[in-house]
Amino acid sequence: METRFTKGKSALLERPLTRPKTEVSVSAFALLFSEVVQYCQSRVYSVTELQARLAEMGQRVGASLLDVLVLREKNGKRETKVLNILLFIKVSVWRSLFGKEADKLEQANDDDKIYYIIEKESLVNTYISVPKENSTLNCAAFTGGIIEAILTHSGFPAKVTVHWHKGTTLMIKFDEAVIARDKALEGR
């Protein structure tokens, strides 16, 4: 009986990180995500807990996604300014997750720590039917978790919450230290 051994590294380790981007069919994504929502829903008692659980799952995805995107899109260079990391999220992260850029990026008029990413028709909410008793449920909490993890692991600690306003709005509230650091960088 003949046994085969691979010489050197495995084929998986030989693949480059810059491999061509692959697309997942929307129906496969919808099925998988609806199962994730059902799984989380069976283990919680309120809409708030469900959104928190979805955000927690999104944070796990965001932590892994950040490393891959920084290597592929930025050649390993991380952002140092708030506006640059937000544009990276609006363009690169959104494109890798949803195949298009986010619709809008806005800063709050009254608070320099708050920014909004607005998505008119969020893909994660498109294929989820919400019962009337859970009408406040916004499954984009999963996306909010991804964004929060990307910001936190990039050195921009922030809290991301999801709201129904002009579609789905992700409200990003940065820590005070992040804004102070950004202003110090501008002053150089």
For the chain, what's the residue count? 188
Residue pair 76/66 in contact by the 8 Å Cβ criterion: no
pLDDT band (50, 70, 90) for residue 185: confident
- List the domains of the chain with CATH numbers: 26-187 (3.30.1380.20)
Digit-coded pLDDT (tens) for 50-102? 999 999 999 999 999 998 888 888 787 888 899 999 999 999 999 988 888 99
Residue pair 134/47 in contact by the 8 Å Cβ criterion: yes
Maximum alpha-carbon separation in the chain:
75
The pTM is what?
0.83
